[in-house]
Amino acid sequence: MDIVYIRDLRIDTFIGIYDWEQQVRQTLSIDLEMATDVAATAAANEFSTTLDYKAISDRLLELIENQHFELLESLAEQIAQLLQDEFKVGWLRLRLGKPGAVPAAADVGVLIERGSVS
């Protein structure tokens, strides 16, 4: 299994269960690993056969930036579903962090894995 990854994609959005959190943009941090076959892409030397991390990043920005969310867990599931549906990602590991949410911690969040490696 080969991996295409995105590290520390930062997106500002409205997220949280408290009223004040729905009024103030907070930064989320996304780490994403997606299974792919790098050898097949390299052999074909064809861009259309790879996972396009720029297109994926742009799509995540579009999904997250201008919406309001309550739970990281719900957003993580939406992201995973989008990647599986729109980009045909068979397996992924997603870390969705909310830096600064707990003053004594550098980051808090959720880590999910979805799909299977073919």
Contact 87, 93 (CB under 8 A): no
- Looking at the annotation, which residues are catalytic? 98
The helix (run of H) or strand (run of E) holding residue 37 is none
Instruction: Tell me how far CA of residue 113 lies from CA of 25, 34, 37, 47, 55, in angstroms.
Output: 27, 10, 18, 26, 21
Q: How far apart are CA 25 and CA 39, in angstroms?
A: 41
| Cβ-based neighbours of 23, under 8 Å, separated by 6 or more | 14
